[in-house]
Amino acid sequence: MNTPGPGGERGLRADPLGDLPTDFEVFYTRENSGYLRYAQQRLRHREDAQDAVQNAGATLYKNWRRALASADPQAFAFKIVKDAVVDVLRERRRTERKRLRVIAQRRPDTSQDELNELAELDALDWAMDELARAAPVQADVVRLRQAGLSYHDIGRSLGIAHTTARTYYSLGRRHLEYLLEHPEDDGGAEA
């Protein structure tokens, strides 16, 4: 990035989305790798991430005119990707619940503690889920930043200023650190 020297003029583009391609294939090809990184970071399995991004691509293709007509097509597209990832997570939870029911039916002597151990998530997943419940935008910023996106790209994807993205990342990281250090507080809720 070139910073103008003293007396230099800072040029702001009138339309920050001016370089947005109107052709779906060009847009999707350009954005696909970022979507895949986000989905993979959130889902932790490449195949699931690819499925989610592919489903999002199909949905975006069907709604491409609506995306272009929206105030921020990149935010519109990211919302579709985010929803596709949530759909995969929901399906996983349904499958896990079914699996636990089958285990309970096959082994009636299975204790509740054993079932709880099977269903537990690791500490980071739990903390990210708690952060997503308490501050969903902060959780999205943290996930996108961990996926390697710049603050400018995160801001465009979520429809917020890049400085806000930087602040939310800092706040989200602090919240995660607190949750990991104090898991007994159950998400920071104090009596």
pLDDT in tens, 143-161: 888 888 899 989 988 889 9
- Which pTM was predicted? 0.56
pLDDT band at 5 (very low <50, low <70, confident <90, very high): very low
Closest CA to 173 of 145, 154, 150: 145
5-32: average pLDDT: 67
What does the alpha-carbon distance between residue 55 and residue 13 come to, in Å, rounded to a whole number?
Answer: 33
Range(s) within the chain of domains with CATH label 1.10.10: 121-185
Q: What is the pLDDT of residue 12?
A: 42
pLDDT at 103: 60
Token representation of residue 16: 């920050």
In three-state secondary structure terms, 65 is helix
Residue pLDDT, tens place only, 103-140: 666 555 555 555 555 444 456 777 888 888 899 999 99
Tokens encoding 83: 């929803």
The one-character DSSP state at 183 is: G
Given this model, what pLDDT does residue 11 score?
Answer: 44
Phi-psi region of 44 (alpha: psi -120 to 50; beta: other; left: phi over 0): left
Considering the domain delimited by 121-185, tell me its CATH architecture. Answer: Orthogonal Bundle (1.10)
